[in-house]
Amino acid sequence: MLEEVRIQGLGVIDDAVLELSPGLTVVTGETGAGKTMVVTGLGLLFGGRADPQRVRPGAGRAVVEGRLTVPEGGRVATRVLEAGGDIDDDVLILNRTVSAEGRSRATLGGRSAPVSLLAYLADDLVAVHGQSDQQRLLRAERQRSSLDRFAGDDLVKVLKRYSVAYRRHREVAAELEELVERARERAQEADLLRFGVEEITAAEPVPGEDAELSAEETRLAHADGLRVASTTAHEALTGDPAAADVQADVVGLLSAARQAVASVSEHDEDLASIGSRLDEASYIITDAATELASYAESVEADPARLAVVQERRALLTQLARKYGETTDEMLAWAENASARLSELDGDDERIEELRAEVEESAADMVEAAGELTEIREAAAERFGEAVTEELTALAMPHARVSVRITTGEEFGPHGRDEVELLLAPHPGSAPLPLHKGASGGELSRVMLAIEVVFAGADPVPTFVFDEVDAGVGGKAAVEIGRRLARLARRAQVIVVTHLPQVAAFADAHLVVEKSTEGLVTESGVVRLDRDGRVRELSRMLAGLEDSELGRAHAEELLGNADPDRAYPRA
């Protein structure tokens, strides 16, 4: 709900503050006082087009600031927080500035925001119906959603069922389309994978085989050197018994050293310790000599085996360029490729399954869409009759509102119906879209009738009407006021009016006052108490604030309107 709006430098308004309340608030004032600027300011606040010519001469810029309450966790609050704005105790501050040069700036919750965001949020905050601003219910999508809410729970249940079928159909159809369109790509992918798997399978690589072959190749390539080195080392440790000139060997020298130390070690513990280390060294050298002898016997030059190993390594190297650097990676690639081949080979079966699912979900969707159309057509008839009845009381007795529902071939998130509100202003005239079938003043009354019928079904919290009573008077004006009061029981309603019959139904009455000083006209907004309302209604009735007859008539209007007010004590 709007709590307060401040307007500065806009048209004839220098600085004015509107303190707004729940229920019906009317704005009145003399001609030229700036009543329309109030609606213009509200339009700017909610993303309306900025006209630099509306900036007050000498002001440099026009500023409109609004304070409104928004429910925590609602769509508006969520969007504001996403944009970086702040909401303090459910209170949101909006600001719009328009310079005389045409530059426009907006802030949302203390954070700069694009003007388009204000317009986006306005859909959930306010509905403005003025001579030049009837956009909200003129949009086809808004008309459809409003009619759906008017239709009630029966449509909600069917729409939920339709939405499930619609989403499922889109998902399945998209998957099917992708599989069918990619059939050639999948076939090419399968051929490549199959070739790779067959190539690896034919090679029969073993985990770790490449490392083992590399080591074996190195050993075979250096067999002679390895055998000479091991034999030489063995002879150095133990000597060569077949040699004619036996040289001293490590084992013999160690044995002599051990014997020398052992003969006297009992006389000194330190020497005994050295003797133990010599024993240990002797054991180690003896073992090493034995292993060297065994190794030297095992090393054989085998050119045939070397050729086999090199050929095998060349094959694995060739495969490694395609499928992985090691045999482990090749085997992993083959495993993954086999799994992917299973998926690709199973796509044909999946395509058939998806085609069946597409047909099934399409049938469910068509059935639910047909039910939606039937419910909408029934609701449209009720709605048209209700609005037409309202128009009769609003001095448009010959006008008729109807709803045209066109069922197309394309399915959307809400069915395949296009909803359009039509108006036939006179008997025999062809029904036309709302904005083509009525003048500005008539359109405001049509919108009032529609909003009254939609009341409770449309969740917008604030309505603004400008010149809704244009061209009417007497009983019709009273009926307009009564319907505005009825609408105000469910939402906040702000009305700019020049008719006392309408103003009498207000829960809060604001008057735009003007003062002329030289060539500059300034306007301010004053909230009236009961006595002030009597004087203002008297002025509107008779042109004289203190006319006894005018005051009596004003009191009578207020008294007659009391039972219809949303807040009778206000």
Q: What is the pLDDT of residue 131?
A: 54
Question: What is the per-residue pLDDT for 550?
Answer: 82
Q: What is the mean pLDDT of residues 172-189?
A: 79
Q: What is the pTM of this model?
A: 0.62
Q: Of 169-173, 348-352, 519-523, which range is least confident? A: 519-523
Residue with structure tokens 């509100």?
421
pLDDT at residue number 375: 95
Q: What is the pLDDT of residue 197?
A: 84
DSSP one-letter code for 312: H
pLDDT of residue 518: 46
pLDDT of residue 24: 92
User: Rounded distance, CA 564 to CA 221, Å?
Assistant: 110
102, 50 Cβ separation under 8 angstroms: yes
Three-state DSSP class for 105? strand
What local confidence, expressed as pLDDT, does residue 244 receive? Answer: 44
Residue 540 three-state SS: helix
Beta strands 492-496 and 104-108, pairing class: unpaired
Q: Quick check: 365 pLDDT over 80?
A: yes
Report which of residues 245 and 314 the model is more confident about: 314
432 vs 3: CA distance, rounded Å: 38
Which helix (H) or strand (E) is 568 found in, with range? none
Contacts of 1 (CB under 8 A, 6+ apart): 20, 22, 68, 69, 461, 462, 492
Q: Is the pLDDT of residue 514 over 80?
A: no
% of the chain surpassing 90 pLDDT: 16
pLDDT(417) > 60 = yes
The residue-averaged pLDDT of 537-544 equals: 82
DSSP assignment of 399-423 equals -EEEEEEEEEEEEETTEEEEEEEEE
What's the confidence (pLDDT) of residue 183?
65
Out of 161-175, 230-244, 517-531, the most confident range is 161-175
Question: Cα angle vertex 293, ends 290, 297, to 5°?
Answer: 145
Phi, psi of 62 (to 5 degrees): -110, 140
Range with lowest mean pLDDT among 46-55, 108-117, 339-348, 375-384: 339-348
Q: Quick one: how far is CA 357 from the chain centroid?
A: 29
Tokens of 440: 């500005």
pLDDT tens-place string over residues 257-276: 888 878 777 877 888 888 88
Mean pLDDT, range 100-104, rounded to an integer = 87
Residue 75 has pLDDT above 90, yes or no: no
User: Does residue 78 surpass a pLDDT of 80?
Assistant: yes
Write out pLDDT tens, residues 203-239.
888 888 888 888 777 777 777 787 777 777 777 777 7
Average pLDDT over residues 8-33: 85
Mean pLDDT lowest among 20-24, 270-274, 562-566: 562-566
Structure tokens at 427: 């008997």
Q: Contact at 8 Å (CB) between 167 and 346?
A: no
Q: Is residue 22 within a helix (H) or strand (E), and if so which, with residue range?
A: none
User: What is the chain's mean pLDDT, rounded?
Assistant: 82
Kindly indicate the confidence band of residue 505, based on its pLDDT and cuts at 50, 70 and 90.
very high
C-alpha to C-alpha distance for 208 and 328, rounded to whole angstroms: 7
